[in-house]
Copies of this chain bind each other. A is one copy, B any other.
Amino acid sequence: MSFNTFGHLFRFTTWGESHGPAIGAVVDGCPPGLAIDEGMIQPFLDARRPGQSKFTTQRQEPDQVRILSGVFEGRTTGTPISLMIENVDQRSKDYSDVALAYRPGHADYAYDAKYGFRDYRGGGRSSARETASRVAAGAVARLVIPEVTIRAYVSEIGGDMIDPGNFDEAEIGENPFFCPDPAAAKRWEKIVDDARLNGSSVGAVVECYARGVPAGWGAPLYGKLDADLAAAMMGINAVKGVEIGDGFAAARLTGEGNADPMRPPVETGPDGAPEFLANHAGGIAGGISTGQPVTCRVAFKPTSSILTPQQTITRDGQATEMFTKGRHDPCVGIRGVPVVEAMMALVLADHKLRHRGQCG
């Protein structure tokens, strides 16, 4: 069984493979009356678009989004919004080796085990290309939560972390790594370029925060805001770990060290919300937002597409060796930044509507 829909009230369903004619998403449950046009979606796709620097894959895709339904006179109608992105740069390539054997670390073997069959061209459905659909859907989600500001950035590449003291939000858009620390960005140029030149790859950590989320979104159990965020982030290709707030570091704290004390606001905030003296919790307590920034960290593995030959087996079980030909990201985490933002927006839009739906 495949299940390509995410969300409860604000839902999206994606479709498409990297080498088919197009990919897309159907956004269902979007409230009516929101101003929207393709120009409000395109910038997010442009941020995710490959081929913009030597640090990402050289596949060239314009990634032009078209809105096929759900919009009338520049506003959402409340009916499904169909978004389509045509595939353009499906470079003719010889995939016979991928057809015959399983690339280690990729989903090839697992797909065949599940379906007995796979579209082996460019990873098919499991290609990172699918994330363009999420980014398009996420742009719609942002319209539902105008009170929220979402920002993601890379905090670590190949084990080299940013210096929190250098954090400058304005720098994020100023380098090809979505890096808020210019010094780190400088160092990463060499790390990523070395990986690229060696046909190797490196992992990365992406951090994301959402400011302006009011207290009260989420639910105590199962419909938890943090559980839904975890699923959203772990569902991104190449992600292997998710943290909310302090994450694994919280496991090393004492109760005192992990406390998020509150006091009355010095100046009365929105709804008289309290002032928090810390945010170890990442803005979520008991599955419900507290009004603090919602924060998460996401670990991207190094892509398995490398030039070093590795042991593997053919479809009929024989030993062989494989390496990855073709254009690939030396650090997939970089282009994960707009995807992480999109998933954050999609989860928050859903929970905003779910919170409204509860009121009797």
Contacts and interface: CB of A to CB of B under 8 A. Distances in A.
A5 to B, nearest CB: 6
A171 interface: no
A196 to B, nearest CB: 11
Nearest to A25: B26
B14 A80 contact: yes
Most buried by B among A111, A214, A224, A253: A111
A181 interface: no
A302 to B, nearest CB: 4
A79 B2 contact: yes
B24 A2 contact: no
Say which size band chain A's interface belongs to.
35 or more
B130 A221 contact: yes
Contact of A242 (B111, B117, B234, B312): B234
Given A115-B33, A215-B114, A79 B251 contact: no
A178 to B, nearest CB: 15
Given A14-B221, A119-B72, A290-B109, A258 B114 contact: no
A358 B1 contact: yes
A241 B240 contact: no
Given A105-B260, A262-B109, A28 B2 contact: yes
Given A15-B69, A216-B113, A312-B261, A222 B4 contact: yes
Contacts of A125: 69, 77, 79, 220-221
15 contacts: A2-B29, A14-B221, A20-B68, A78-B115, A79-B220, A105-B281, A110-B215, A156-B251, A203-B251, A205-B248, A227-B230, A254-B302, A255-B306, A259-B310, A261-B310
A57 interface: no
Contacts of A240: 226, 243-248, 250-251, 281-282
A109 B261 CA distance: 11
B117 A77 contact: yes
Contacts of A259: 104-105, 304, 306, 310
Interface string A233-274: 111010011111111101111111111111110000000101
A67 to B, nearest CB: 9
Contacts of A277: 311
B288 A113 contact: yes
Interface string A110-140: 1101111111010011100010000000000
B5 A301 contact: no
Contacts of A31: 358-360
Given A16-B68, A241-B251, 13 more contacts: A2-B80, A2-B358, A4-B223, A9-B358, A14-B221, A16-B80, A17-B69, A31-B360, A77-B118, A78-B115, A235-B287, A242-B243, A251-B299
A356 B359 contact: yes
Interface in A191-238: 195, 200-205, 214-224, 226-235, 237
Interface stretch (A47-55, A162-170, A313-321): A313-321
